[in-house]
Structure 1
């Protein structure tokens, strides 16, 4: 199993009914052995194994790490600033998951899009 399907389903639902989403385009992409949810062409949240990957604003990064189940995203031995992983204990309830989705969506407008591969 590359990523936790039930968490992916819960994340889809959280995004679909989130008031901040409005008319924004949401696309799912399989990448990095997991599933990424792109909002307006920018990575917003994703699923890696059984953890939720969340893109957060620089000013929210340190506070995020103090929340239950949250840790730095250490991909290939290097910490990716601006991204956190939230273990299952931090996404157990709908309220917990909605918090993380809201945090990612709040930063999405200001986040930079990744460069397009040629």
Structure 2
């Protein structure tokens, strides 16, 4: 299944409303939104993929309609997937986007060391 383009447009629209400078990039078989050179929000199938601050991860993972991102059999700490059921209202989607934007400002991306 391809990513939900309508959901991607909703995220795009919200970022424009907030006057965010972003780049859309195909990633993880979906569509990712890069802000400050960081993947913060994305769409995978019908779910929002979200990067959050480590300090908020444990609390947010307990929220309804949220589960850890498990890509290629490995849980990716700091990444959450928000199910479609938790994104029906614009206020709900906007709340999740705000967490991604917070990561774009304060989050640290740990890059792999070059050999």
State TM-score, norm by structure 2. Answer: 0.89
The worse-fitting range, judged by mean Cα deviation, of 59-68 and 34-43 is 59-68
Could you tell me how far 1:90 is from its partner in structure 2?
1.0
1:2 aligns with 2:2: yes
Deviation track 1:40-91 (CA, whole Å, cap 9, x = no partner) reads 2110100000000000001110111121211000001000000000000111
The separation in 2 between residues aligned to 1:58 and 1:89, in whole angstroms, is 24
Residue equivalent to 2:54: 58
Residue equivalent to 2:107: 111
Residue equivalent to 2:14: 14
Which of 19, 30, 39 lines up with 1:34 in the alignment?
Answer: 30
Q: CA RMSD in A?
A: 1.7
State TM-score, norm by structure 1. Answer: 0.87
The worse-fitting range, judged by mean Cα deviation, of 104-113 and 53-62 is 104-113
* 3-state SS, counterpart of residue 109 of structure 1: helix
The separation in 2 between residues aligned to 1:92 and 1:67, in whole angstroms, is 15
| Unaligned runs of at least 5 residues, structure 1 | none
The separation in 1 between residues aligned to 2:42 and 2:68, in whole angstroms, is 14
| Structure 1 segments of 4+ aligned residues over 6 angstroms from their partners | none
Deviation track 1:78-118 (CA, whole Å, cap 9, x = no partner) reads 00000000000111100000000001101212223575xxx
| Unaligned runs of at least 5 residues, structure 2 | none
Contact 1:42–1:114 under 8 Å retained in 2: no
Which of 40, 43, 55 lines up with 2:39 in the alignment?
Answer: 43
Query: What is the total number of aligned residue pairs between the two structures?
Result: 112
The separation in 2 between residues aligned to 1:50 and 1:70, in whole angstroms, is 13
